[in-house]
Structure 1
């Protein structure tokens, strides 16, 4: 795969899957626009990308739930590079909650981050992607493909991401824009800890993941990053409207 000369915009690039994806695209020669909320982490990722790809990424400190920030992400990217080839909608949050203990505030918080912001940024990106016959890859979850208790709003948000992916694929196919999603299983990042698990609970969660994932382990961010890059590349030129599990077989099991 080769992304030399291609401009790739990645949200949530300051940690986890987003950071790994940024580094991998840098190794493939991409020109990067990296967005995130954590200034220190984002700069570290950008420095690593520069050391690997020999090009300094554009960094945009932004909160994608704020409309003015989302607009600034796109405006800054186009002002800097004048074009856009690939959009990676990666930013997202996870929170636990069932119908008995959730709240409308939680629902709004999760959907604003995982769905509404993605919807908005993609709206802004499409006119530029049409010009380049570009690609979109949305980072969803195995939770979008099957149901798990105690993650109600999160599950619903990722199902919405998958439906968004499929609808866009149909709407934009005539413009030669391909749209796909990846659906990770448990990946070793800070997502679950930020979602409320303490260290002990997180370690037990990872241990359980060895049993619930048929390949016998959770995944790592680099494995998801390589799949994202494939879907965005010319190697996947006849693939669109796919929700692709990167989950060690988790989607195929009956285990909770």
Structure 2
């Protein structure tokens, strides 16, 4: 599954699943575009990618809630590489809130998890059509079920919306040879829950509970999810589009 001369954009590439995916693509000779807010962390990931095959990644600092920053991702990529082969929409935030908390949590999470993805796909589509490329959206099992141990109504809603974007865009672009799929992780060992407002102690306690209660008795690692992203972006998945792939150690069965 060689990605030699393929250009791969990965949002949320500074840590967790995005960083793991970047390293995997880089190990297969991809020209990786690393997108995120933490410039220092992005540089660290870029250095690791560089060591793999000697191909220097393009680092794009972006706040996805800003339209100009979203546009700049595509502009810089085309200016440097002249093409886009794969778009991995991995960036996202976990926003806690209940229906009693008003509209603000909803607006905040949709402004990061949904609107920028929609816009970035729209901007990337002409280039993906030219290369017969593909899109992988990183969603969540939260698209299918409430997260019972955390009040995550806004987040669950955003991921359900993202899955429908995957299906609709896949249907629209199929005749152009562009595939669109989604990877939906369950509990995964990433900085996600801390970013959503939990302390490290709360995160550790949550992980212990999840590892005891998940059917396979463990949580996923970032590299597990990256492997699935990589497969769907590769030519081995050439007959797959509009599909939602759950990777959750059986969480959805509960």
More moved, 148-157 vs 73-82: 148-157
Matched, 1:99 2:99: yes
What's the secondary structure of 1:95's corresponding residue?
coil
Deviation of the 1:246 alpha carbon: 1.0
Q: Is the 8 A contact 2:96 2:105 kept in 1?
A: no
Could you tell me how far apart the structure 1 residues matched to 2:98 and 2:212 are? Answer: 24
What's the secondary structure of 1:161's corresponding residue?
helix
Could you tell me how far apart the structure 2 residues matched to 1:93 and 1:40 are? Answer: 19
Could you tell me how far apart the structure 2 residues matched to 1:57 and 1:80 are? Answer: 10
2:28 aligned partner = 28
2:184 aligned partner = 183
What's the secondary structure of 1:148's corresponding residue?
coil
5 Å-filtered alignment, 1:155-170, equals: 155-170=156-171
Q: Is the 8 A contact 2:140 2:159 kept in 1?
A: yes
Normalising by the residue count of structure 2, what TM-score does the alignment of the two structures yield? 0.97
What's the secondary structure of 2:183's corresponding residue?
strand
Return 5+ residue gaps in structure 2 as ranges: none
Could you tell me how far apart the structure 2 residues matched to 1:90 and 1:119 are? Answer: 13
Deviation of the 1:214 alpha carbon: 1.1
Could you tell me how far apart the structure 2 residues matched to 1:172 and 1:213 are? Answer: 36
5 Å-filtered alignment, 1:1-256, equals: 1-100=1-100, 102-149=101-148, 150-253=151-254
Could you tell me how far apart the structure 2 residues matched to 1:143 and 1:28 are? Answer: 31
What's the secondary structure of 1:72's corresponding residue?
helix
More moved, 44-53 vs 102-111: 102-111
Normalising by the residue count of structure 1, what TM-score does the alignment of the two structures yield? 0.96
Q: Note the alpha carbon deviations across 1:140-164, whole angstroms, 9 max, x for none.
A: 0010122224100000000001010
Deviation of the 1:57 alpha carbon: 0.3
Return 5+ residue gaps in structure 1 as ranges: none
Could you tell me how far apart the structure 1 residues matched to 2:147 and 2:191 are? Answer: 19
Could you tell me how far apart the structure 2 residues matched to 1:40 and 1:200 are? Answer: 25
More moved, 143-152 vs 244-253: 143-152
Q: Note the alpha carbon deviations across 1:226-251, whole angstroms, 9 max, x for none.
A: 10000000000100111101111111
Could you tell me how far apart the structure 1 residues matched to 2:57 and 2:146 are? Answer: 38
Could you tell me how far apart the structure 2 residues matched to 1:12 and 1:171 are? Answer: 26
Q: Note the alpha carbon deviations across 1:55-108, whole angstroms, 9 max, x for none.
A: 0000001111100000001000000000010000000000221112x3322111
Q: Is the 8 A contact 2:93 2:192 kept in 1?
A: yes
Could you tell me how far apart the structure 1 residues matched to 2:161 and 2:2 are? Answer: 31
Q: What is the aligned length?
A: 252
More moved, 234-243 vs 203-212: 203-212
What's the secondary structure of 1:216's corresponding residue?
coil
Could you tell me how far apart the structure 2 residues matched to 1:107 and 1:212 are? Answer: 29
What's the secondary structure of 1:63's corresponding residue?
coil
